[in-house]
């Protein structure tokens, strides 16, 4: 679409709304404002217009203000106090240090609109200026009650340090890569890291571009409080009833809860199986003279489930070789003796936990550094200073439905 056609047809520019649903109440809690224009061919998105950097800044700002004013007017007169998520190009916002936008919002505040309902969306990886200045501007906006969301996380390369500096109230995580039922473990690990970041900075997670039930389940399972996407609600020119999907979402979440409880119970039972197996093996191994003999004994009993076994002390120094399975043969690798693994995430925390609880721990699924496969590790306290680590193979975990 020719930019001039847009600028000369501002009377045909108007907002569309895409609903955002909550996990706690199963209702619509807000809407993202999207720009549309009526043309001879029907309603068209203005996304390409705003993303075209060849169009002068002032033109894009003018069109955005038309759309935003209409959305704010509607929010002012609506009986529902929904949140309004407004997309802002951070580079354009910094042109006048956000004063034009703030003046517009304050003019509606004077009419009775609470600015606590406004969520300002910015995309960190598109910003080309000084991130410290953007941080100061967003902090200034917050003094008026405006919330800040960082958008499109997971869609492009995002700098976690910059996101942490901005300290957003909401992180919008894009699930566009998760359009197939299988998703690379590496990508799941990235999303998990973002969930940890959200927890660290005190941000709420909003998962967007949800297009199927399994994506909604993933978002729910990974700390999502808010959800958005075509599976739930396609953008429309109208505001919906807040309870639009309340019954449907409650039923789906109950199903998710039931599935998750079964999964967690299955993992608990798997942990119990290894706890009992290793207790019996340790009784048989009381007379072994070295940790290498001990891991060879353990390997002989766990050959169907494990592919690597070793012993470390309480500080993470390896006190045995690695015993590694190649096909159906176990081989000792003495070069791993005295390597230190205390740098691994949760290593020392798990050592303390085993020391106190006097029982083993089954790890989360993670990608093994050497094999690249998804595995789990069962850690077991031999005594108060030494711990056995049993790496469980992908094939075994797959058979046990423990991935």
Q: Is 244 within a domain?
A: no
pLDDT of amino acid 179: 63
- Domain harbouring 11, CATH code: 3.20.20.450
pLDDT of amino acid 193: 77
Residues 181 and 308 placed together within one structural domain of the fold: no
Check: CB of residue 206 under 8 Å from CB of residue 20.
yes
Q: Is 237 within a domain?
A: no
| Domains: count for the chain | 2
3-state secondary structure string across 190-236: HHHHHHHHHHHHCCEEEEECCCCHHHHHHHHHCCEEEECCCCCCCCE
Residues 211 and 279 placed together within one structural domain of the fold: no
Q: Is 253 within a domain?
A: no
Residues 10 and 150 placed together within one structural domain of the fold: yes
- Domain harbouring 387, CATH code: 3.30.450.20
Boundary residue ending a domain (210, 230, 250) = 230
Dihedral Cα 338, 343, 346, 348, nearest 10 deg: 50
Q: Residues of the chain with pLDDT > 70: what percent?
A: 96
Confidence check: pLDDT of 184 > 70 = no
- Categorize the per-residue pLDDT at 111 as very low, low, confident or very high, splitting at 50, 70 and 90: very high
In this predicted model, what pLDDT tens digit does every residue of 259-318 receive, in sequence order?
999 999 999 999 999 999 999 999 988 889 999 999 999 999 999 999 999 999 999 999
Residues 225 and 267 placed together within one structural domain of the fold: no
Tokens 């000369």 sit at which residue? 8
- Categorize the per-residue pLDDT at 21 as very low, low, confident or very high, splitting at 50, 70 and 90: very high
Boundary residue ending a domain (180, 214, 230) = 230
Q: Is 254 within a domain?
A: no
Residues 265 and 224 placed together within one structural domain of the fold: no
C-alpha separations of 243 from 166, 186, 210, 250 in Å: 33, 36, 19, 11
Question: Facing residues of 333 across strands?
Answer: 322
C-alpha separations of 45 from 40, 49, 51, 260 in Å: 13, 8, 11, 39
Residues 206 and 277 placed together within one structural domain of the fold: no
Q: Is 239 within a domain?
A: no
Distance CA 59, CA 63 (A): 6
In this predicted model, what pLDDT tens digit does every residue of 134-183 receive, in sequence order?
999 999 999 999 999 998 775 555 577 788 788 899 999 988 766 655 56
Residues 199 and 64 placed together within one structural domain of the fold: yes
Confidence check: pLDDT of 258 > 80 = yes
Residues 18 and 158 placed together within one structural domain of the fold: yes
Residues 220 and 140 placed together within one structural domain of the fold: yes
State the residue range of the domain holding 308: 260-399
Residues 209 and 273 placed together within one structural domain of the fold: no
Residues 300 and 169 placed together within one structural domain of the fold: no
Check: CB of residue 321 under 8 Å from CB of residue 327.
no
Q: Is 236 within a domain?
A: no
Residues 219 and 330 placed together within one structural domain of the fold: no
Phi-psi region of 125 (alpha: psi -120 to 50; beta: other; left: phi over 0): alpha
CA atoms lying within 13 Å on the CB side of residue 223: 18
Q: Is 188 within a domain?
A: yes
Confidence check: pLDDT of 338 > 70 = yes
Boundary residue ending a domain (230, 248, 275) = 230
């Amino acid at each position: 679409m020719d930019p001039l056609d847009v600028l000369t047809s501002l009377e045909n520019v108007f907002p569309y709304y895409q609903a955002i649903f909550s996990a706690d109440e199963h209702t619509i809690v807000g809407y993202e404002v999207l720009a549309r224009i009526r043309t001879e061919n029907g309603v068209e998105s203005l996304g390409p217009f705003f993303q075209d950097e060849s169009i002068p800044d002032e033109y894009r700002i003018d069109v955005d203000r038309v759309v935003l004013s209409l959305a704010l007017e509607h929010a002012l007169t609506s009986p529902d106090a929904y949140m309004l998520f407004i997309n802002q190009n951070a580079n354009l916002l910094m042109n006048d240090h956000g004063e034009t936008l703030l003046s517009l919002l304050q003019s509606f505040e004077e009419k009775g609109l609470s600015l606590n309902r406004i969520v300002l969306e910015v995309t960190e990886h598109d910003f080309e200026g000084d991130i410290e200045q953007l941080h100061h501007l967003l902090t200034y906006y917050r003094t008026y009650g405006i919330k800040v969301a960082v958008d499109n996380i997971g869609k492009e390369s995002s700098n976690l340090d910059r996101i942490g500096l901005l300290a957003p109230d909401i992180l919008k995580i894009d699930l566009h890569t998760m359009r197939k039922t299988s998703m690379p473990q590496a990508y799941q690990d990235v999303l998990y890291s973002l969930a940890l970041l959200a927890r660290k900075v005190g941000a709420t997670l909003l998962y967007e571009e949800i297009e199927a039930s399994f994506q909604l389940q993933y978002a729910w399972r990974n700390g999502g409080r808010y959800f958005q996407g075509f599976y739930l609600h396609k953008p429309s020119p109208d505001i919906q009833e807040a309870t639009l999907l309340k019954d449907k979402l409650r039923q789906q979440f109950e199903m998710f809860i039931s599935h998750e409880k079964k999964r967690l119970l299955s993992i608990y039972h798997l942990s119990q199986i290894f706890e009992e197996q290793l207790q019996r093996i340790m009784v048989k191994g009381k007379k072994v003279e070295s940790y290498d003999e001990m891991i060879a004994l353990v390997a002989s009993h766990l050959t169907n489930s494990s592919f690597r076994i070793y012993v470390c002390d309480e500080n993470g120094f390896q006190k045995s070789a690695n015993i590694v399975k190649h096909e159906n043969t176990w081989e000792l690798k003495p070069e791993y003796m005295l390597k230190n693994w205390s740098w691994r995430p949760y290593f020392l925390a798990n050592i303390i936990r085993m020391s106190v609880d006097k029982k083993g721990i089954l790890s989360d699924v993670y990608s093994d550094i050497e094999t690249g496969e998804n595995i789990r590790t069962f850690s077991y306290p031999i005594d108060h200073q030494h711990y056995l680590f049993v790496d469980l193979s992908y094939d075994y975990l797959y058979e046990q439905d423990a991935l």
